[in-house]
Amino acid sequence: MNTINNLLNAASFAAKYHTGQTRKGERGEPYINHPLEVANLIANVGGIDDIDILMAAILHDTVEDCGVTRDEIASLFGETVASYVLEVTDDKSLPKAERKRLQIEHAPHLSTGAKIVKLADKISNITDITNSPPADWTIERRREYVEWGSSVVAGLRGVNAKLEAHFDSLVTRARSAVEQAA
Ligand code: ZN
């Protein structure tokens, strides 16, 4: 049974592994801002206090981006957290377009915990693309990203009405920001 102490351990673990990584937006924010924001959205927009889900949110990019293994997460933080993290980890041996297609295809089949993490992840990423777009992204690329994120989220619905409503108002704002920049 994970506790708030384990949650802080996970935050510290993720901060250590994301050291030196930055977000791709023009502000170049430290990467750790992102998993912390994902966990914060789940807790404070979604009203969810399941510690395993919050820990998975904090750790969700450590396997995909930091070379941490599933076994390492399982032994430190438990099987439930490890399985949520694995469910939201892309197979990086596949080409990017295929990974993006598979996210849409897999979304409806994820566990509820993994759906919540993925929904908050999409909120965080689309917020960043809207508020701090990467300097080298074209308008078209931003537009495609928002529409792809919406397609993934279509398969995640039914897990948390507050996060879904937050996503919907964000997408409205993101689309108009893209059109204004075009
Ligand atoms: Zn993420």
Buried b (16+ CB within 10 A) or exposed e, 112-141: ebbbbbbbbbbbbbbbbbbeebeeebeeee
CA distances, 89 to each of 44, 83, 86 (Å): 24, 10, 5
Say whether 30 sits in a helix, a strand or coil: strand
Per-position pLDDT tens, the chain of length 182 = 899 999 999 999 999 999 999 998 888 899 999 999 999 999 999 999 999 999 999 999 999 999 999 999 999 999 999 999 999 999 999 999 999 999 999 999 999 999 999 999 999 999 999 999 999 999 999 999 999 999 999 999 999 999 999 999 999 999 999 999 88
Residue bearing tokens 């009203």: 47
> What are the residue numbers of the active site?
64-65
Q: Which CATH number fits domain 3-181: 3.30.1490.20, 1.10.3210.10, 1.20.58.220, 3.40.50.10260?
A: 1.10.3210.10
Distance 153 CA to ligand 1 centre (A): 14
Distance 60 CA to ligand 1 centre (A): 6
Does the model's pTM come out above 0.95?
Answer: yes
- Secondary structure, 3-state, 110-157: CCHHHHHHHHHHHHHHHHHHHHCCCCCCCHHHHHHHHHHHHHHHHCCC
